[in-house]
């Protein structure tokens, strides 16, 4: 860490979870951190316009929960006090696979379940309590970057408030955390930078979500139920997820390959029946709806290869969904944003040995580290997406196809193998690399099943 804070300001564009986490990290390195958010923040933890998917389920992966509680030590107790739930990864969640329900066992790994808006609202409040040098300005939409006349440094950002007043915010470091709809590519092009390469996987997903109040007499032995898709046969998925409130759950119905769940009552219930899992149908039939049905559609995943650009601003970085936005079905977004914040923290600390850590090469080096961190969750999600014939994008090579098949085989061992179950979900929650799936007992189990199947055939 630095002996003293850097003079000047760090400017963060975007006040969602990614921007707030970046602000927490930068507050330890800059005299002042300014967060510019285009929305007007609601006083209470309710959905806001800038997060169109805020009515839907946001699963906080275990890796993300670990990082959030490192940055905000009080966050877990704050969320629990506001009605969030502590959920064991395997003991409290009932996973339905193509081969049946995965084993239920105490994993010692748990996350916190609540609505996206409660999580973001609580992070924002904790940030302002912990970091007196952070200033959040809402109702401020950034419209572009201003570059110095010679060199690659960004002087600051131009912004408009909703009353059409124009402002300029100078900054020693500029951070884009605006998310999936980021305009960084356009902003950089306008000031003379090249357009980055881009990867897209169009999987055509949609979901519909409604909140329900579960009756006390249901006596469920689980807190969450997740019904996974089964490529290329079953395009439908369901998630029942506990959130704050008295016996309140969110029921999310999801479809891939343009199998969009309806948002009318009859269509929603029929889609749920077609999933074919009794528990999903039962929860909807026996519980009381306490919200409207909200729909959301997304094309798929998109990744900008900023790390491949020959020229990049010396003091501008992008992170989270601004760089790599994932298929929301896999719940990776918040966790990857947290991983980016942790990378930024170590990057600043490692460069803090010089008087001016934000020097030439700082930003490009950071983007390479972010690209490396994004590679595993990107591969995990898009490999699954590309198992659907309806998905559009570069098809996987032979090695990737072999890996896809092996990972699927490990997942399908869920009902009968404890080590396969633990290993698969540790990987899914980004706690472990895919190497964890190559335990000798898992490999032998898969080989045994294939031999038995061949003998029967």
Residues 348, 413, single domain; the answer is no
Distance CA 269, CA 263 (A): 10
Domain boundary among 270, 299, 328: 299
Q: How far is CA 362 from CA 147, 356, 373, in A?
A: 17, 10, 17
428-449 average pLDDT score: 95
pLDDT surpassing 80 at residue 343: yes
341-361 average pLDDT score: 83
274-284 pLDDT tens trace:
999 999 999 99
Residues 125, 168, single domain; the answer is yes
Residues 267, 178, single domain; the answer is no
Residues 288, 352, single domain; the answer is no
Contact present, 19 and 182 (Cβ < 8 Å): no
Domain boundary among 276, 299, 322: 299
pLDDT surpassing 70 at residue 12: yes
- The number of domains in the chain is 3
Residues 312, 369, single domain; the answer is yes
Confidence (pLDDT) at 396: 84
pLDDT surpassing 50 at residue 2: no
Distance CA 407, CA 401 (A): 10
Residues 234, 352, single domain; the answer is no
301 bridge partner residues: 201
431-435 average pLDDT score: 93
Residues 258, 402, single domain; the answer is no
93-138 pLDDT tens trace:
999 999 999 999 999 899 999 999 999 999 999 999 999 999 999 9
Residues 39, 176, single domain; the answer is yes
Q: Report the range of poorest mean pLDDT among 169-183, 356-370, 418-432.
A: 356-370
65-81 pLDDT tens trace:
999 999 999 999 999 99
Domain membership of residue 68 (yes or no) is: no
Confidence (pLDDT) at 354: 56
Domain membership of residue 86 (yes or no) is: no
Domain boundary among 382, 415, 442: 382
Confidence (pLDDT) at 72: 98
Question: SS3 letters for the chain?
Answer: CCCCCEEEEEEEECCCHHHHHHHHHHCCCEEEEEEECCCCCCCCCCCCCCCCCCCCCCCCCHHHHHHHHHHCCCHHHHHHHCCCEEEECCCCEEEEECCEECCCCCCCCEEEECCHHHHHHHHHHHHHHHCCCEEEECCEEEEEEEECCCCCCEEEEEEEECCCCEEEEECCEEEECCCCCCCHHHHHHHCCCCCCCEEEEEEEEEEEEEEEECCHHHCCCCCEEEECCECCCECEEEEEEECCCCCEEEEEEEECCCCCCCCCHHHHHHHHHHHCCHHHHHHHHHCEECCCCEEEEEEEEEEECHHHCCCCCCCEEECHHHCEECCHHHCCHHHHHHHHHHHHHHHHHHHCCCCCCCCCCHHHHHHHHHHHHHHHHHHHHHHHHCCCCCCECCCCCHHHHHHHHHHHHHHCCCCCCHHHHHHHHHHHCCCCCHHHHHCHHHHHHHHHHHHHHHHHC
Contacts of 77 (CB under 8 A, 6+ apart): none
Domain membership of residue 41 (yes or no) is: yes
163-185 average pLDDT score: 93
324-338 average pLDDT score: 95
Chain mean pLDDT for the chain = 94
Confidence (pLDDT) at 291: 97
Domain membership of residue 217 (yes or no) is: yes
Domain membership of residue 330 (yes or no) is: yes
Residues 24, 136, single domain; the answer is yes
Of residues 421 and 352, the one with the higher pLDDT is 421
Beta 224-227 vs 198-213: how paired, if at all? unpaired
pLDDT band at 4; cut points 50, 70, 90: low
Residues 193, 235, single domain; the answer is no
Domain membership of residue 109 (yes or no) is: no
Residues 347, 447, single domain; the answer is no
Distance CA 60, CA 228 (A): 17
User: Which pTM was predicted?
Assistant: 0.95
Of residues 112 and 356, the one with the higher pLDDT is 112
CATH number at residue 167: 3.50.50.60
Domain membership of residue 230 (yes or no) is: yes
- Whole domain around residue 272: which residue ranges? 200-299
Closest CA to 388 of 277, 262, 255, 206: 255
Residues 269, 324, single domain; the answer is no
Confidence (pLDDT) at 352: 67
Domain membership of residue 78 (yes or no) is: no
């Amino acid at each position: 860490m630095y002996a003293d804070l850097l003079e000047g300001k760090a400017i963060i564009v975007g006040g969602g979870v990614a921007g707030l986490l970046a602000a927490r990290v930068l507050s330890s390195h800059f005299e002042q951190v300014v967060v510019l958010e285009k929305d007007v923040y609601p006083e209470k933890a309710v959905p806001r316009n800038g997060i169109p998917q805020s009515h839907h389920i946001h699963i906080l992966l275990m890796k993300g929960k670990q990082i959030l509680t490192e940055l905000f030590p009080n966050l877990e107790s704050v969320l629990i006090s506001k009605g969030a739930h502590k959920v064991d990864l395997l003991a409290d969640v009932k996973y339905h696979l193509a081969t049946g329900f995965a084993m239920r066992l105490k994993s010692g790994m748990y996350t916190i379940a609540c609505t996206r808006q409660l999580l973001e609202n609580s992070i924002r409040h904790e940030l302002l309590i912990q970091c007196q040098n952070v200033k959040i300005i809402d109702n401020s939409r950034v419209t572009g970057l201003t570059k110095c006349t010679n060199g690659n440094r960004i002087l600051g950002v131009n912004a408009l408030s909703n009353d059409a007043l124009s402002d300029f915010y100078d900054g020693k470091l500029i951070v884009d955390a605006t998310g999936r709809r980021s305009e960084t590519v356009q902003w950089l092009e306008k000031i003379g930078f090249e357009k980055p390469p881009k990867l897209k996987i169009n999987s055509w997903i949609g979901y519909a979500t409604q909140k329900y109040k579960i009756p006390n007499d249901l006596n469920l032995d689980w807190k969450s139920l997740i019904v996974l898709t089964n490529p290329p046969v079953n395009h439908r998925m369901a998630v029942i997820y506990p959130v704050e409130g008295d016996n309140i759950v969110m029921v999310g119905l999801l479809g891939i390959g343009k199998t969009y769940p309806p948002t009318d009552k009859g269509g929603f219930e029929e889609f749920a029946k077609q999933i074919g899992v009794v528990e999903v149908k039962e929860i909807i039939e026996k519980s009381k709806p306490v919200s409207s049905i909200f729909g959301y559609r997304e094309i798929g995943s998109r990744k900008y290869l900023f790390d491949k650009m020959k020229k990049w601003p010396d003091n501008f970085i992008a992170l989270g969904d601004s760089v790599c936005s994932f298929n929301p079905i896999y719940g990776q977004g918040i966790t990857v944003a947290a991983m980016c914040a942790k990378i930024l923290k170590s990057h600043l600390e490692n460069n803090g040995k010089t008087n001016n850590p934000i020097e030439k090469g700082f930003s490009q080096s950071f983007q390479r580290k972010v690209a490396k961190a994004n590679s595993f969750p990107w591969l995990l999600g898009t490999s699954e997406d590309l198992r659907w014939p309806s998905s559009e994008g570069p098809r996987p090579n032979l090695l990737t196809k072999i890996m896809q098949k092996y990972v699927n085989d490990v997942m399908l061992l869920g009902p009968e193998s404890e080590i396969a179950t633990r290993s698969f979900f540790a990987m899914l929650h980004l706690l472990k690399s895919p190497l964890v799936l190559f335990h000798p007992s898992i490999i032998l189990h898969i080989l045994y099943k294939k031999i038995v199947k061949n003998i029967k055939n």
